[in-house]
Structure 1
């Protein structure tokens, strides 16, 4: 019965399709427009409409984001937003139309999401915007606009942010400035030209912006900050900014300015991210390009760029720069931007440099003037092909969780080592319990409550829906922390089956195990179903999985409610801060876990069913067995709290949680009955590998 249910679930996972939502009509979209404004004529078939003021004149445009930027969220469905944009490119309003983000459906509620979207009102599409907070004081004097994210939902709001910007840029290009949305140029890898620095300067390939101390003083003249730069006043003829800008995407230009070692590092980066356009900036003056609080691999806090009046997202490439002889020396950085968002390196673009002064000793007031330079690289270095595609902010997500990912990587490596090469040492009597409980405590605290790395059936169902829709799986990159856990879990399928995640890496599983130990400490009576009922109850999780998969295709709007069969969101994601009935449901399972060992994990967990199906990839029977296992010795079977050992001694790896209890028994000459008999001289006991 169980095998049939698992195969059925696997079959359903591979089949099915789901239609995308239709574009809203005038009446439906008009419900989001605030009077006295109204909707005018349609602007095409992609859901863009004219926005009229009270006098019937064109005031801007309204549209929904999904038709132009269908970036999948964690449920597999895009986040659809209503946007009202004025003729100057400022956001009049941004509202939520629809979404299926699990954290907002029934976790935090939609309130924080709607509050996040309110931050866009009054902002301009020409302003560079970043979700998050600046490091240290890096935000002071910066042209970047920082949008406060939502705790526990940063990845979801980043998806919404990128959807909004991608759709808005398309509307701004086509409706407001007449800029063609043709594919941008990309460097021609086959084009070769021998160049040196003097050639770049003579041909305008390297552009320069020179500002003296006297000129920067003049720019601040008449302001509060006019006398706040003693160095400029002491040396008026000195150089404040001596800025060189070079697009080093084309290989010939790159070879003329970078050392061979730096060029190789950049080439490796571009091989991994072929859509990035690298730009070299050098300041031979005293400006320094960025503030003292700048953090590598983030957006430069005092450099911004634009093209056709729209912002160009810049980010530090985090490459140490060595320049060729003859190239001006100074503060050098390689910045990068993504051509898929519309940046065309063959057309003129503008780099803005913020000159910042502070007035006052305590909580100084920040003053800023902008120094501007234009740059363009000749067409001969580029090709024009491909399509403009919206960028998923994977790099931003990786940057924001760099330290968490580093710690998680070490933890996962340690777990793989403990249950792999060191398995028999860990399974020694006196070692297994403390090591296991220590790992589970870290998994619960760091991976679960801190890192929000609790894997969920919601991700599986979202990936299923995305695959059925033929959509992009890029939404998985928005949560690199969980993605790393998924990666190690899938590796565990091949090496051990489902046990690596269910037994060692699941935060709710760890919480269930601690509930069991608390029940034992309180001397609560322990209940265990009979072998027959144990087998029957284990089939429930496959039935639930099949029902959830069917819901994806039959009633997709109810998937998130159906997925609440998992108490993970309540116990781990929101730390029990939810409506009372969700808390009671999670509490019932933890209470039951005090008398029934990991009852939810063994019998109900639909994610566990997915893990068992994934465990079919297991390539070996990793638990050694002896000829006497099962007949006459039944000790491992009796001690196995998961019921994963058959009467004949065979291991059912689909139910094995890799607790290592049977490994401990097998290795212990004082517990393993065949070894005890062997030690007494009764017989010679052969060992077998088959489980």
Structure 2
């Protein structure tokens, strides 16, 4: 019993000592060894501490600079809806000495942009001042411009805003500040040569004791101010002001693209509203449709990079279930406007408006098929049984991607490469050869089977089908005779969205309006042909009656209106 009591006491003592023992905090080089490359002369690294958190970097007892993680300072949602976490280092002169992206969920960076291209972009920040106004692309006077990554402009802009805003905040919190504006030149402030007197650099900083973190901000401030004022160019002086949401700046820079896109969407709305009028003029409809498909591929796709993706759907679902913020979706104005328009058309007309008119890759497939037909390439279609079985593939792919995204959005983005959109549209075929072969192969298949990918493999089309079931309008006209017995539209529909009973399957229809052209064609559609013949027979019958009247007397036929209004009305 005594032994048991002693053992319990010893166990309790060890447990108490374990709970009260100081926990070893990992230094930043233990967490992120890459920081050693930022400060190659450093021999001691501190822990992340302070507000905002940063780690001091030393060579012996001399403070070299600081390193921090952007997620600890500012979190701006990027294209994926999540921030880009970056490790950043800067010295006491206010120069950025290194940075590396340590965590992100950006689709274009997960699969698409090579590590070499990413590091080439990141290297542009080296030796920039933490107080520079760095902008992507051409900037105004006083801005420091850097190059973007083709196909990842929005991601790059978010990374730039995250980096420059966070590094300025950390630098200011550690005593660094932008140089003051140049003072007016006077006789007392200049030498004989007319040059400004150099600032005194005899300010020293007491070395901190071993194991301590950075010296207080007030001590560091004098030395940092002197060094920064000499190192930073005067034209790049900025002050700490309330940061504007990044999406506002992006929208201002995209004024031209926004105007053209809105004009294009207004035009498409008019096409939908006056579709009957256009369907009665098939030659004009061909020009309108082909022209719009070219606009979709060139402007919406290759120029504006506004190709919607199933990744957008998965990202929205994740945001809705966790931390929804409009800022994450407003960051790309073209995508936001296009998705807003698609949401409206889904409820009004179904998925066919986007799939048939606004999808750049779908438009590219359709234009390819039209070219192939003009060159006499033979077309191949699956039997109805095989076609209906293949429909299920895209829904299975969508369910698989959604299930994986619940566990890991990054992994789902990798699997979403089943979409060739990034290769063919966003990156304009400038990718590794495997992706290019896949995308080009799907386009070649569409030359002999209209929109093969859209019909059978597209998870985005499958996702759009779900809200499309709640559409309000059904403006695609049908005759009572459609499917019973007439099969002209069902045979001619190359996406095979018309069933044998004449019913249009709105889940698969791409709203090309081909069936509407046939509907109004009085020399092809049997009910319309019959009505045309009735109208043509009416004058001849009236003439025959009048001849008979001249011999037999009035029949009263003139009191009847022989116009088409006497014919049975159209079936709506």
Contact 2:45 2:58 in 1 (8 A): no
Deviation of the 1:173 alpha carbon: 4.4
How far apart, in 2, do the equivalents of 1:578 and 1:657 lie? 29
Q: For the structure 1 residues 54 and 302, does the alpha-carbon distance in structure 2 shift closer, same or farther, using more than 3 Å as the test?
A: closer
Deviation of the 1:503 alpha carbon: 0.4
In the other structure, the counterpart of 2:490 is 637
How far apart, in 2, do the equivalents of 1:613 and 1:474 lie? 25
Corresponding position: 1:494 with 2:347:
yes
Deviation of the 1:576 alpha carbon: 1.2
3-state SS in 2 of match to 1:626: coil
3-state SS in 2 of match to 1:53: strand
Q: For the structure 1 residues 38 and 598, does the alpha-carbon distance in structure 2 shift closer, same or farther, using more than 3 Å as the test?
A: farther
User: Which deviates more, 157-166 or 462-471?
Assistant: 462-471
Deviation of the 1:45 alpha carbon: 8.2
Contact 2:134 2:164 in 1 (8 A): no
Q: For the structure 1 residues 110 and 481, does the alpha-carbon distance in structure 2 shift closer, same or farther, using more than 3 Å as the test?
A: farther
Contact 1:48 1:62 in 2 (8 A): no
Aligned partner of 1:678 among 526, 531, 534: 531
Gaps of 5+ in 2: 1-25, 196-233, 536-565
Deviation of the 1:38 alpha carbon: 5.0
| Map 1:403-482 → 2, pairs under 5 A | 403-426=256-279, 428-482=281-335
Contact 1:626 1:685 in 2 (8 A): no
In the other structure, the counterpart of 1:400 is 253
3-state SS in 1 of match to 2:516: helix
In the other structure, the counterpart of 1:172 is 171
Deviation of the 1:68 alpha carbon: 3.0
Deviation of the 1:640 alpha carbon: 1.4
Deviation of the 1:554 alpha carbon: 2.5
In the other structure, the counterpart of 2:36 is 33
In the other structure, the counterpart of 1:318 is none
Q: For the structure 1 residues 688 and 408, does the alpha-carbon distance in structure 2 shift closer, same or farther, using more than 3 Å as the test?
A: same
Q: For the structure 1 residues 423 and 451, does the alpha-carbon distance in structure 2 shift closer, same or farther, using more than 3 Å as the test?
A: farther
Corresponding position: 1:614 with 2:467:
yes
In the other structure, the counterpart of 1:512 is 365
Aligned partner of 1:624 among 472, 477, 483: 477
Q: For the structure 1 residues 465 and 56, does the alpha-carbon distance in structure 2 shift closer, same or farther, using more than 3 Å as the test?
A: farther
Deviation of the 1:426 alpha carbon: 4.9
Tell me the TM-score normalised to structure 1 length. Answer: 0.63
Deviation of the 1:223 alpha carbon: 7.6
In the other structure, the counterpart of 1:257 is none
Contact 2:136 2:145 in 1 (8 A): yes
Deviation of the 1:666 alpha carbon: 1.3
3-state SS in 2 of match to 1:63: strand
Contact 1:427 1:660 in 2 (8 A): no
Contact 1:113 1:157 in 2 (8 A): no
Aligned partner of 2:392 among 527, 531, 539: 539
How far apart, in 2, do the equivalents of 1:220 and 1:653 lie? 83
How far apart, in 1, do the equivalents of 2:306 and 2:387 lie? 30
Deviation of the 1:160 alpha carbon: 0.6
In the other structure, the counterpart of 2:149 is 150
How far apart, in 1, do the equivalents of 2:49 and 2:570 lie? 74
3-state SS in 2 of match to 1:96: strand
In the other structure, the counterpart of 1:653 is 506
Aligned residues between the structures: 472
How far apart, in 2, do the equivalents of 1:107 and 1:24 lie? 33
Deviation of the 1:471 alpha carbon: 4.7
Give per-residue Cα distances to partners, 1:231-258, cap 9 Å, x unaligned: xxxxxxxxxxxxxxxxxxxxxxxxxxxx
3-state SS in 1 of match to 2:305: coil
Q: For the structure 1 residues 534 and 223, does the alpha-carbon distance in structure 2 shift closer, same or farther, using more than 3 Å as the test?
A: farther
Deviation of the 1:499 alpha carbon: 1.3
| Map 1:139-218 → 2, pairs under 5 A | 139=141, 142=142, 144-176=143-175
Contact 2:132 2:236 in 1 (8 A): no
Q: For the structure 1 residues 481 and 533, does the alpha-carbon distance in structure 2 shift closer, same or farther, using more than 3 Å as the test?
A: same
User: Which deviates more, 159-168 or 100-109?
Assistant: 100-109
Corresponding position: 1:503 with 2:359:
no
In the other structure, the counterpart of 2:84 is 79
Q: For the structure 1 residues 304 and 673, does the alpha-carbon distance in structure 2 shift closer, same or farther, using more than 3 Å as the test?
A: farther
More helix by share: 2
Q: For the structure 1 residues 393 and 221, does the alpha-carbon distance in structure 2 shift closer, same or farther, using more than 3 Å as the test?
A: farther
How far apart, in 1, do the equivalents of 2:365 and 2:192 lie? 67
Tell me the TM-score normalised to structure 2 length. Answer: 0.75
Deviation of the 1:175 alpha carbon: 3.6
Deviation of the 1:93 alpha carbon: 1.3
| Map 1:18-167 → 2, pairs under 5 A | 27-34=30-37, 35-38=40-43, 40-44=45-49, 48-134=53-139, 138-139=140-141, 142=142, 144-167=143-166
In the other structure, the counterpart of 1:329 is none
| Map 1:304-343 → 2, pairs under 5 A | 305-306=238-239, 311-312=240-241, 339=242, 341=243
Deviation of the 1:546 alpha carbon: 0.9
In the other structure, the counterpart of 2:207 is none
Deviation of the 1:447 alpha carbon: 1.3
Q: For the structure 1 residues 685 and 548, does the alpha-carbon distance in structure 2 shift closer, same or farther, using more than 3 Å as the test?
A: farther
Contact 1:495 1:620 in 2 (8 A): yes
Contact 2:94 2:131 in 1 (8 A): yes
Contact 1:544 1:606 in 2 (8 A): yes
Q: For the structure 1 residues 37 and 490, does the alpha-carbon distance in structure 2 shift closer, same or farther, using more than 3 Å as the test?
A: same
How far apart, in 1, do the equivalents of 2:377 and 2:451 lie? 15
How far apart, in 1, do the equivalents of 2:432 and 2:568 lie? 58
Q: For the structure 1 residues 42 and 616, does the alpha-carbon distance in structure 2 shift closer, same or farther, using more than 3 Å as the test?
A: same
How far apart, in 2, do the equivalents of 1:60 and 1:223 lie? 34
Q: For the structure 1 residues 560 and 56, does the alpha-carbon distance in structure 2 shift closer, same or farther, using more than 3 Å as the test?
A: farther
Q: For the structure 1 residues 38 and 398, does the alpha-carbon distance in structure 2 shift closer, same or farther, using more than 3 Å as the test?
A: farther
Contact 1:593 1:599 in 2 (8 A): yes
Contact 2:121 2:147 in 1 (8 A): yes
How far apart, in 1, do the equivalents of 2:398 and 2:280 lie? 33
Contact 1:570 1:586 in 2 (8 A): yes
User: Which deviates more, 666-675 or 124-133?
Assistant: 124-133
How far apart, in 2, do the equivalents of 1:528 and 1:482 lie? 34
Deviation of the 1:505 alpha carbon: 0.9
Contact 1:71 1:78 in 2 (8 A): yes
3-state SS in 2 of match to 1:162: helix
Contact 2:300 2:360 in 1 (8 A): yes
How far apart, in 2, do the equivalents of 1:113 and 1:617 lie? 43
In the other structure, the counterpart of 1:549 is 402
How far apart, in 1, do the equivalents of 2:190 and 2:496 lie? 78
3-state SS in 2 of match to 1:618: coil
User: Which deviates more, 640-649 or 84-93?
Assistant: 84-93
